[in-house]
Amino acid sequence: MKLRRELGGWLLASPYLLSAAIFFLIPLVWSLSLLFFRWNLITPEREFVGLANFGEALTSPRVWNAMLVTYKFMGIIIPSVMVASIGLALIIHHIPRLKELFAVGFFLPYLASGVAIGLVIQGILSYGSPVNEFLRNVFGTSPRWLRDPFWAVLVISGMIVWKLSGYYALIFVAGLQAIPRELYEAAALDGAGAFTQFRRITLPLLYPAFYTVLVLAVGITLGIFTEPYVLTGGGPALATHTWQLEIYYQAFERFRAGYGATVALINAVVTFVTILIIRRLAESWGARRGFK
């Protein structure tokens, strides 16, 4: 009976295991085998180059620029999505009726296709769109939303924040519901106002939700690809050219599979180290407030 139960468990898990092997494990092993070769994805011959791919990647201005652009996005998106999702969570938490309906409504952008959203935003921000015509009529000019480095970064960041905030707000709502109401009542009796209650009670006790959202958001921002690929193609002047776009460019546009795999491996290592450091900082902050 024990053997039958174990076989049944493996059988039920087999679709996921099979898909993971096909779409993750096999490509991972294949990409590792390309690190030391020069290959154009077309011819069967591969040229062994040793550590040349690593040397080129570590000294490439494009790779360093892609890393800085990725961290720039992270510096904009992480604080913005935290503020937006906590704000949405507070709104949902204090809605007297139909909380579930509003929660689902805020969550829907997360389910939408990034390509579809990007095409819609392209239309909204095009030169002849009603938005830009209104700005030109009122102010005499309109920004070059996707052709100016400053505005392009803000547009892509805003799109990602809009997409993620509703999902992360649900995590914060769960955290708000776990805070005992008696704490607020006791604080009110002691004369604490709404802002003091939020700063002294709500924010510290939201640490578990804050920790979860922080790690998830960092992982997503370090892997940005769809939004800049659809909206700007990495431009203007590589201002939105993230690490994922550099990997795609080298492997599938310049047909340098070995070099692209090398950049991908460096990206994976830096992503792992970045998430590890941020986790340690967040855990240290939580430990000082009684969370372990």
The answer to whether the CB of 234 falls within 8 A of the CB of 221 is: no
pLDDT at 6: 78
pLDDT at 172: 92
Taking the alpha carbons at both ends of the chain, their separation in whole angstroms is 40
Taking the whole predicted model, whether its pTM rises above 0.85 is answered as yes
Bigger pLDDT: 164 vs 185 = 164
**Rounded-to-integer distance, Cα 80 and Cα 84, Å:** 6
Mean residue pLDDT across the chain: 87
pLDDT at 64: 93
**Domain coordinates of the chain in residue numbers?**
1-25, 53-287
pLDDT at 289: 67
**Rounded-to-integer distance, Cα 179 and Cα 185, Å:** 12
Tokens of 188: 């009110």
The answer to whether the CB of 109 falls within 8 A of the CB of 159 is: no
pLDDT at 201: 83
What average pLDDT score do residues 153-177 get?
A: 91
**Does residue 160 have a pLDDT over 90?**
yes
Bigger pLDDT: 168 vs 190 = 168
**Does residue 292 have a pLDDT over 70?**
no
Assigned superfamily of 53-287: MetI-like (1.10.3720.10)
Residues 50-75: tens digit of each pLDDT: 889 999 999 999 999 999 999 999 99
Residues β-bridged to residue 38: 47
**Rounded-to-integer distance, Cα 280 and Cα 288, Å:** 12
Nearest to 115 by CA among 13, 30, 225: 225
What average pLDDT score do residues 198-202 get?
A: 82
What average pLDDT score do residues 172-186 get?
A: 86
Going by DSSP bridges, is the β-strand pair 37-38/47-48 parallel, antiparallel, or unpaired? antiparallel
AA identity, residue 97: R
Residues 9-19: tens digit of each pLDDT: 788 888 888 88
**Does residue 291 have a pLDDT over 70?**
no
Tokens of 277: 């450091």
Residues 70-98: tens digit of each pLDDT: 999 999 999 999 999 999 998 888 887 77
| Cis-peptide, bond into residue 79, ω within 30° of zero | no
What average pLDDT score do residues 162-180 get?
A: 89
pLDDT at 200: 82
Tokens of 35: 């690190």
pLDDT at 94: 83
For the chain, the DSSP string reads -HHHHHHHHHHHHHHHHHHHIIIIIHHHHHHHHTTTEE--SSSS--EE-TTHHHHHHHH-HHHHHHHHHHHHHHHHHHHHHHHHHHHHHHHHHH-SS-HHHHHHHHHHHHHS-HHHHHHHHHHHHSTTSHHHHHHHHHHS----TTTSHHHHHHHHHHHHHHHHHHHHHHHHHHHHHTS-HHHHHHHHHTT--HHHHIIIIIHHHTHHHHHHHHHHHHHHHTT--HHHHHHTTT-STTTT--HHHHHHIIIIIS--HHHHHHHHHHHHHHHHHHHHHHHHHHHHHHHTTT--
pLDDT category of residue 181 using cuts at 50, 70 and 90: confident
pLDDT at 127: 85
Question: Look-up: residue for tokens 């480095």?
Answer: 149
**Rounded-to-integer distance, Cα 169 and Cα 210, Å:** 10
Residues in Cβ contact with 115 at an 8 Å cutoff, skipping those fewer than 6 apart = 226, 230
pLDDT category of residue 33 using cuts at 50, 70 and 90: confident
